[in-house]
């Protein structure tokens, strides 16, 4: 039992440092890094930080999507709509895989972080289309 607890604590710490590195790479908000620092490796607090940042990133994604759609021809709008639906299906299935039911709280952390990273990447991707 002691070994399992040590492994979970070690994994939570490793994921928190990975999350901090990802935050700078993906233009995640400074609130996210601050929140993770305050979470101090506590899994449930880290998940709360991830969920809050996912909400912020989802708002960015939606804003970028709407702005991009307003600039496209009808055919391109249809293509983007289809791509977005396919992306959501992929993101959800892929991140659900991270949430291994046998993985405990660290798997929940990984699944939530997967959603955050995918959402932030997609928001950035849509923004780049507008910059072209």
pLDDT tens-digit profile of 82-101?
A: 999 999 999 999 999 999 98
Q: pTM for the complete prediction?
A: 0.79
Q: Among 20-24, 47-51, 53-57, where is mean pLDDT lowest? A: 20-24
Domain CATH code at residue 39: 1.20.1270.180
Q: Please say whether the beta carbons of 44 and 72 come within 8 A.
A: no
Question: How many domains does the chain divide into?
Answer: 1
Mind spelling out the 3-state secondary structure of 104-125? HHHHHHHHHHHHHHHHHHHHHH
Range of the domain at 34: 2-131
């Amino acid at each position: 039992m002691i070994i399992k607890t040590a492994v979970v604590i070690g994994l939570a710490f490793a994921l928190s440092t990975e999350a901090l590195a990802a935050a700078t790479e993906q233009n995640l908000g400074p609130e996210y890094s601050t929140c993770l620092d305050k979470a101090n490796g506590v899994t449930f607090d880290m998940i709360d930080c991830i969920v809050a940042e996912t909400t912020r990133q989802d708002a960015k994604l939606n804003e970028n999507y709407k702005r991009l759609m307003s600039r496209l021809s009808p055919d391109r709008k249809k293509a983007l709509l289809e791509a977005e639906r396919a992306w959501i299906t992929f993101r959800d299935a892929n991140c659900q895989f991270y949430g291994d039911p046998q993985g405990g709280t660290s798997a929940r952390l990984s699944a939530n972080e997967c959603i955050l990273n995918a959402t932030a990447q997609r928001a950035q991707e849509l923004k780049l289309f507008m910059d072209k």
